[in-house]
């Protein structure tokens, strides 16, 4: 009886751990999580109680296609920025860099953010008109592939830094047109960087809570 | 990551369903969802009669529409500028680009300072989408403008300006308290008036 009670208790708490997202009030996702957990619950009850408590880390393979796309548009944008004026009319350069930066923004925000590091952020406008920013991450036991996550963070931060330096150089050199362009690109990449950084903060908080709960459960078991 | 999670029905018109989207939806689904949002907003702006549900879907703001129309307008006008006046291509392009974004920013700021409770990006989004009629008339004038006398050119300009202003005024006016409506709406008129006039004289 005691074990059964404990099992029940653990069953309810695992979905909670997995759903420490802000504003997640849907049962469907909990059902999904339950279905992936129940596979391990088919075995003997005593062992199950111990197994469930620390889920194996959810890992992923290094995804080269995502990494390539993550870096591709950023690199192209910077490359086109440096093409000298004689070869490429400033106007076309501006258009191409802005379009590339926009495509890069969309790719990182919607695709490579999810696939490489399992994070997502967006904003919702509520009924009364106020805006709310939402940061979402994968389950607490998710461990991103180190290769993936390194490329993601280095590329994003590197690009933000590069555009920042280019803004300074253009302002000092009094090239206003290029400076405006660099500022636009800086804003786009910077916003993505800040959004994902905040997401990562959320995920680390989630993982810490998860670890604490496991620790507490382990102590309770004694 | 495992891609075997079942896909949730993509009914984009409900805010609740956005929250249940898996972190693992496919790329094509993401693209289609965004495209549908853009198409909805465009229809909302172009056909003012269809503004029944008060733009509930407008709350999913996106800046792709404004970016596309801004670039299109700037390109059209700078393309035309080369053949007629002495101002350089990139000057016209820069003016239009900066003007649209800074103008939208200022108009939104004005509405917010007047006490309107509106999401900044949502307002910029709507103002950007309402630039589309001006885009249309810029293209019309670019193609056949040189054959027409000035007065005839004025007609599409006025029609499209009225169209833009009417589409956006409905939204902007609903944001602020009633006695400040004119204060909020006046910059919007000014914004589109300048864009229309600019596209006429360039």
Q: CB A137: neighbour CB atoms within 10 A? A: 24
Q: Is residue B33's pLDDT more than 80?
A: yes
Query: What pTM was computed for the model?
Result: 0.71
Q: What percent of chain B has pLDDT over 70?
A: 79
Higher-scoring residue by pLDDT: B153, A46: B153
Q: What is the DSSP string of A182-204?
A: HHHHHHHHHHHHHHHHHHHHHHH
Nearest residue, CB atoms, A91 vs list B19, B67, B78: B78
Q: What is the pLDDT of residue A24?
A: 40
Residue B53 has a pLDDT of: 56
Min Cα–Cα distance to chain A from B47, Å: 23
Greatest Cα pair distance in chain A: 82
Could you tell me which of B61, B165, B104, B52 has the C-alpha nearest to residue A129?
Answer: B61
Per residue in B101-143, pLDDT tens? 999 999 988 888 887 777 788 888 888 888 998 998 888 888 8
A59: contact with B, CB 8 A cutoff: no
Contact between residue B160 and residue B136 where contact means Cβ atoms under 8 Å apart: yes
Residues of A in contact with B118 (CB under 8 A): 129
Count of beta carbons in the 10 Å neighbourhood of residue A200: 18
How high is the pLDDT of residue A54? Answer: 67
Q: What's residue A160's pLDDT?
A: 93
Compute how many other C-beta atoms are within 10 angstroms of the C-beta atom of residue A114: 22
**CA B98 remoteness from chain centre:** 15
Q: Does A85 touch chain B if contact means CB atoms closer than 8 Å?
A: no
B78 and A CB contact within 8 Å: yes
Cα dist. A195→A108, A122, B24, B175 in Å? 11, 8, 19, 28
Give me chain B's average pLDDT, please: 77
Cα atoms in the Cβ-side hemisphere of radius 13 Å centred on A213 = 22
A90 has a chain B CB within 8 A of its CB: yes
Q: Does the beta-carbon distance from A125 to B122 stay under 8 Å?
A: yes
| Site from A91, A94, A113 to mutate, B interface, most B CB atoms within 10 angstroms | A91
Q: Residue A91 has which token pair?
A: 């106007």
| B9 touching chain A per CB within 8 A | no
Nearest Cα residue in chain B from A32: B5
Is residue B77 predicted with pLDDT exceeding 70? yes
Q: Which residues are within 8 A (CB) of B99 and not within 5 positions of it... i.e. 6 or more apart?
A: B194, B195
pLDDT of residue A165: 94
Q: Judge: A120–B18 Cβ closer than 8 Å, yes or no.
A: no
- Average of per-residue pLDDT across B30-45: 83
Total residue count of chain B as it appears in this document: 202
Alpha-carbon gap: B70 to the closest alpha carbon of chain A (Å)? 11
pLDDT of residue B57: 64
Six token digits for residue A124: 């919702």
Query: pLDDT tens digits, residue range A140-193?
Result: 667 778 888 888 889 999 999 999 999 999 999 988 888 888 998 999 999 899
Q: Helices A2-18 and A27-38 sit at what angle, rounded to 10 degrees?
A: 130
B8 in contact with A, Cβ within 8 Å = yes
The residue ranking higher by pLDDT, B32 or A33, is B32
| A95/B19 CB distance under 8 A | no
State the average pLDDT for chain A: 75
| Nearest-neighbour CA in chain A from B88: distance (Å) | 10
Which chain B residue lies closest to A136 (C-alpha atoms)?
A: B23
Residues B35, B23: Cα–Cα separation, whole Å? 19
Q: Which tokens hold the place of B19?
A: 């929250």
Q: At what angle do helices A45-53 and A2-18 cross, to 10 degrees?
A: 30
Which of B119, B172, B175 has the most A C-beta neighbours within 10 Å, making it the best mutation to test the interface with A?
B119
- Name the A residues in 110-169 with CB < 8 Å from any B CB: 110-111, 114-115, 118, 120, 122-125, 128-131, 136-138
């Amino acid at each position: 009886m005691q074990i059964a009670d404990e099992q029940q208790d653990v069953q309810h708490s695992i979905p909670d751990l997995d759903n420490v997202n802000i504003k997640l009030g849907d049962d469907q996702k909990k059902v999904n999580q339950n279905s992936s957990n129940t596979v391990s619950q088919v075995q003997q009850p005593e062992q199950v109680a111990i197994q469930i408590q620390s889920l194996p880390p959810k890992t992923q393979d290094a995804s080269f296609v995502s990494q390539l796309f993550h870096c591709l548009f950023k690199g192209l944008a910077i490359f086109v920025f440096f093409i000298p004026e004689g070869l490429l009319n400033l106007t076309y350069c501006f258009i191409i860099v802005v379009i590339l930066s926009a495509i890069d923004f969309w790719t990182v925000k919607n695709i490579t953010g999810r696939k490489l590091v399992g994070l997502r952020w967006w904003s919702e406008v509520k009924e009364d008109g106020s805006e709310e920013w939402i940061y979402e991450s994968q389950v607490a036991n998710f461990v991103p592939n180190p290769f993936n996550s390194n490329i993601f963070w280095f590329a994003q931060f590197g690009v933000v830094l590069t555009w920042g330096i280019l803004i300074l150089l253009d302002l000092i050199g009094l090239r206003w047109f290029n400076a405006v362009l660099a500022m636009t690109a800086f804003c786009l990449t910077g916003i993505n960087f800040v959004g994902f950084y905040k997401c990562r903060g959320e995920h680390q908080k989630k993982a810490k809570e998860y670890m604490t709960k496991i620790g507490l459960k382990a102590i309770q078991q004694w | 990551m495992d891609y075997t999670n079942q896909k949730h029905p993509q009914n984009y018109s409900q805010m609740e369903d956005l929250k249940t989207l898996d972190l693992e939806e496919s790329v094509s689904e993401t693209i289609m969802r965004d495209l549908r949002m853009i198409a909805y907003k465009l229809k909302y702006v172009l056909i003012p009669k269809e503004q029944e549900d008060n733009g509930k879907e407008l709350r999913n703001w996106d800046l792709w529409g404004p970016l596309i129309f801004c670039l299109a307008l700037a390109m059209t006008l700078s393309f035309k500028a080369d053949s007629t006046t002495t101002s350089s291509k990139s000057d016209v392009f820069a003016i239009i680009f900066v003007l649209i974004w800074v103008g939208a920013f200022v108009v939104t700021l004005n509405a917010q300072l007047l006490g309107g409770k509106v999401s900044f990006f949502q307002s910029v989004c709507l103002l950007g989408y309402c630039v589309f009629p001006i885009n249309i008339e810029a293209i019309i004038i670019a193609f056949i403008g040189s054959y027409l006398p000035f007065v005839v050119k004025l007609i599409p300009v006025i029609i499209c300006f009225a169209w833009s202003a009417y589409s956006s005024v409905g939204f902007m006016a609903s944001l602020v308290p009633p006695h400040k409506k004119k204060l909020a709406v006046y910059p919007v008129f000014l914004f589109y008036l300048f864009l229309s006039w600019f596209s006429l004289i360039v």
